[in-house]
Structure 1
Amino acid sequence: MKAGNIEQFKHLSQFRDLKDFNNNIEQWMIDLKQKFTKSELIALKRLIRFSAKVAGVCNAKIQTLVSACHEAGQEISRSTFERMLRKAKQFGLVQVINTFKGDGKQSHNVYVFQRYQIVSDSSTIDVPMQETIDVPKETSNLNFKTSNQNNIKRTKALDGSFASSRVPKEFRDLVKCFWNDYKVIEELWKVIQIQTYYLSYYSQQDKLDLAIDSFKQLIRNIKQGRKVHNIFGYYWGIVGAILDREYENTLHEMYEEYAS
């Protein structure tokens, strides 16, 4: 890609506007904040600030970003900044795009923040089911403890009955019909918790209804042949779309009431 003014990279933005970008960053930080050192977080926050003109896109030089940290009284090294970038790329938070000058020589990079997606090992449709291992009924307490520990280690996945009690039973039972894995159930419910975090008017029943409606749409789309490589990211999109429509309907109703 040819180097140029930040305006040339608007098409790379993954976000509707700055508010949408900030909301996604907040969600990323819930999962990833502990993954970065204090100095790396300073570097990351500086990169985020420089990505405001075009939501989620920055084409500043690393030295410029490091100097900005120093000017703010937060001294970090270039190596710290580069280490932060490696981690951010690894977690899927940032995509780094190389640019080139007119003469073909490499110029500074463009940093493109990605939309939030659940960080999870269970990211594909084919989620492994539990492998049942029997425990002998007649054994000493010591042998039972040892055998039980070995069984747990050899179990590929715990079933849905091990899901956190924070997940409503109705939602847990529905998801179990398709993915009987506690981790999948908890991650799907986590999407609901994050998406409705600032919706203080949402009751637990509202969240449950949203979760069930969104999950049914997920399954319906898959059954109709939609290829879904990441069920959590796809589920996130469905929930967000439903909430966006609800918000638009609310604004429309308010407008009609005001106009009348």
Structure 2
Amino acid sequence: MIDLKSKFTKSELIALKRLIRFSAKVAGVCHAKIQTLVSACHEKGQEISRSTFERMLRKAKKFGLLIVYNTTKENGKQSHNVYVFQRYQSQIVSDSSTIDVAESAKIDGAYKTNNLLETNNHLNKRNDNVQKENKLDGSYTSKRVPVEFRDLVKYFFDDAKTIEEFWKIITIQTYYLSYYTQQDRLELALDSFKQLIRSIKFGRKVHNIFGYYWGIVGAILDREYKNTLHEMYEEYAC
């Protein structure tokens, strides 16, 4: 807020702070509908419109505060979005780092501009090479991810970060399902991923695999919840 508060209007700040409050149960993640968030503002006597909330989201994405994942239901229809806050580096810190570099390059009252530029170019190329080399295959996946799930996903996406991101979705979606065992999570993850691959193989255009996967997992859990309610109703009816 030190850097960006002036970039938002008063109404947009209300919307942003409400989104932050709804991102507390799972740190930095909110999967509430926009209408729910807007209604929550109204309940607190802070009346804002849906367009104001959407305008705040566009600014937050532009400034790197948020990533918005689009999700879809199992039938392919669009579902509500998931908002994930990102780590933010203060502009003050960035500016001071730039000043230090410039000051250190000053020798005898003159800047060795050419040498500094050549050094920066060399470091940038080296950094690009390191990033390419640092891409790890599925065998480097965190031990938190079950082996069965890792082996299935790496057949299609042999990248440790991608595999961990898929499992992270399962962890978030089942965070409050205390009755869920690790085996239940594994079966949910495997079933959901197979549905994702099936959709892709059948020609569905998936622009965001993580968002689509989120939607599949959510749809399975919703169906499971409805079936549970139906069974309870039949049991008590008898």
Q: Normalising to structure 1: TM-score of the pair?
A: 0.51
Match status 1:115 vs 2:81: yes
Q: Which runs of 5+ in 2 are unaligned?
A: 1-17, 31-36, 70-79, 87-126
How far apart, CA to CA, are the structure 2 residues paired with 1:185 and 1:202?
A: 21
1:211-237, Cα deviation, whole Å (9 max, x unpaired): 000000000000001100000000000
1:161, distance to aligned residue in structure 2 (A): 1.1
Structure 2 CA distance for partners of 1:185 and 1:93, relative to 1, 3 Å: closer
1:175 matched to which residue of 2? 153
Task: Select 1:59's aligned residue among 42, 49, 58.
Answer: 49
Contact 1:27 1:116 in 2 (8 A): no
Match status 1:87 vs 2:53: no
SS of alignment partner, residue 50 of structure 1: helix
Structure 2 CA distance for partners of 1:236 and 1:51, relative to 1, 3 Å: farther
How far apart, CA to CA, are the structure 2 residues paired with 1:179 and 1:26?
A: 29
Structure with more helix by fraction: 2
1:242 matched to which residue of 2? 220
For residues 35-54 of structure 1, the aligned pairs below 5 Å read 49-50=40-41
Match status 1:195 vs 2:173: yes
Match status 1:215 vs 2:193: yes
Contact 1:157 1:181 in 2 (8 A): yes
Contact 2:137 2:159 in 1 (8 A): yes
How far apart, CA to CA, are the structure 2 residues paired with 1:211 and 1:166?
A: 13
1:26, distance to aligned residue in structure 2 (A): 3.2
Q: Normalising to structure 2: TM-score of the pair?
A: 0.55
SS of alignment partner, residue 192 of structure 1: helix
1:145 matched to which residue of 2? none
1:118, distance to aligned residue in structure 2 (A): 6.4
Supply the RMSD in Å over aligned alpha carbons: 4.1
**Number of equivalences:** 159
Q: Which runs of 5+ in 1 are unaligned?
A: 1-20, 34-45, 63-81, 95-113, 121-148
Identity of aligned residues (%): 54
1:8 matched to which residue of 2? none
2:119 matched to which residue of 1? none
Structure 2 CA distance for partners of 1:229 and 1:222, relative to 1, 3 Å: same
Structure 2 CA distance for partners of 1:50 and 1:118, relative to 1, 3 Å: closer
How far apart, CA to CA, are the structure 1 residues paired with 2:51 and 2:129?
A: 53
1:4-51, Cα deviation, whole Å (9 max, x unpaired): xxxxxxxxxxxxxxxxx99x9438963469xxxxxxxxxxxx978416
1:209, distance to aligned residue in structure 2 (A): 0.2
Structure 2 CA distance for partners of 1:85 and 1:176, relative to 1, 3 Å: closer
1:139-172, Cα deviation, whole Å (9 max, x unpaired): xxxxxxxxxx997544162111111110000000
Amino acid aligned to 2:27: I
How far apart, CA to CA, are the structure 2 residues paired with 1:211 and 1:92?
A: 23
Amino acid aligned to 2:41: F
Contact 2:26 2:172 in 1 (8 A): no
1:40-90, Cα deviation, whole Å (9 max, x unpaired): xxxxxx97841669xxx941898xxxxxxxxxxxxxxxxxxx999722565
How far apart, CA to CA, are the structure 1 residues paired with 2:224 and 2:81?
A: 21
